[in-house]
Amino acid sequence: MRKVVAQAFVTLDGFTAGPNGETDWQLQGFSEEMGEYIYETYEDTDLLLLGKYTYLQFEAYWQQQSNNPEADRMNHTPKIVFSTTLPQANWMNTRLVKSNVEAEIRTLKNTRGNNMMIVGSIGLMQSLAHLDLIDEYRLLIYPVLLGAGRRWLDNIRETRQLALISSRIFSNGVMLAIYRPSQRICLYECLTAVR
């Protein structure tokens, strides 16, 4: 069974963007060490799950890069963009899904393969969190307080227990915290042990 992994850059007070969509704090605090970690996360990922706006940003940026192993990986990794308003998806190896997100994800989770990762795409991340379809949260928590903006998860309807699987502090003070829903921990650890 494949996992859906949500990776987000968040502030200490729980925001992923400022009141006007500002994300400059992410770039200012980003380090080469973090870049190496991000690159490594793609080694166990064979499908990217994207919302419309992240897709458009990634498509515009990554297609213009050349002679770059990271760009090659981003361009060649299969991608699904979920959008009801995007007319078509032109980035290589991308499929557009316009409806029935839940059914699509549930079907994909039951196929063979590595992780499916949500990158950016906060709206998609929130939708899948509400449907309890996220198997792992990888948070890069910046030592920044914004005070207002867009929360990375909002309006969760019920309490869900998560367990900290691992953590790491980068030299720039950003903390990586990886969580999984508690009831799924034994299942994944047991399946991994059997393989």
Structural domain harbouring 178: 4-194
**Tokens matching residue 41:** 């996360």
- Separation between Cα atoms, residue 181 and residue 13, nearest integer Å: 21
| Pairwise pLDDT comparison (182 vs 89), residue with the higher score | 89
Write down the mean pLDDT value for the chain: 89
| Pairwise pLDDT comparison (194 vs 184), residue with the higher score | 184
How does strand 4-11 pair with strand 136-142?
A: parallel
Paired residues of 179 in beta bridges: 137, 164
Could you report the per-residue pLDDT of 8-29, keeping only the tens digit for each? 999 999 999 999 988 899 988 8
Q: What is the CATH number of the domain that holds 155?
A: 3.40.430.10
- pLDDT in the model for residue 194: 46
Asked if pLDDT for residue 68 goes beyond 90, the answer is no
Among 28-32, 127-131, 156-160, the range scoring the smallest mean pLDDT is 156-160
**Tokens matching residue 12:** 């200490």
| Pairwise pLDDT comparison (194 vs 99), residue with the higher score | 99
Asked if pLDDT for residue 192 goes beyond 70, the answer is no
Q: What pTM value is reported for the model? A: 0.87
Report the candidate in 47, 164, 69, 58 with the shortest Cα–Cα distance to residue 115: 47
| Pairwise pLDDT comparison (67 vs 169), residue with the higher score | 169
Report how many domains make up the chain.
Answer: 1
Cβ burial of 66 (10 Å; 0-12, 13-18, 19+) is exposed
Could you report the per-residue pLDDT of 99-117, keeping only the tens digit for each? 999 999 999 999 999 999 9
- pLDDT in the model for residue 184: 56
